[in-house]
Amino acid sequence: QDCLNRRLNADIGDELQDFQDIAERQGINVAQARLSFQIDTQGRIVKIEAAGASDKHLGPEAKKALQRITDRQQRRGKTIVPAKTEDGKPAILNFQIPVKFQLQ
């Protein structure tokens, strides 16, 4: 989970470069949000939702960024290794990651 969290945060940060323009226009110096999603039994990211945003722009932009990452992974045929139950069956994993933006 830690590895996935680090990797997704880096990828989302790269995808949020467009948010910097919005932040500059809106006078946003710091913003935070939380993305929640599931990793299904096939290893795909699904049910992406944004919550807890400190402004109205970062949550939706972070959600779109994660969706672009997910779409790109699926086009390449890449998936995440799904969680497994104790008996080895694939399981759905609920996941949350914080998204922080700071204008530099």
pLDDT at 91: 94
Q: Residue 65's CB: how many other CB atoms inside 10 A? A: 25
pLDDT at 89: 93
Report the SS3 class of residue 67.
helix
Q: What is the pLDDT of residues 18-50, one digit of tens each?
A: 788 888 888 888 889 999 999 999 999 999 999
54 pLDDT exceeds 80?
Answer: no
**DSSP for residue 2:** H
65 pLDDT exceeds 80?
Answer: yes
Highest averaged pLDDT of the listed ranges 5-9, 27-31, 88-92:
88-92
1 pLDDT exceeds 80?
Answer: no
Of 78, 13, 89, 1, the residue nearest 37 (C-alpha): 1
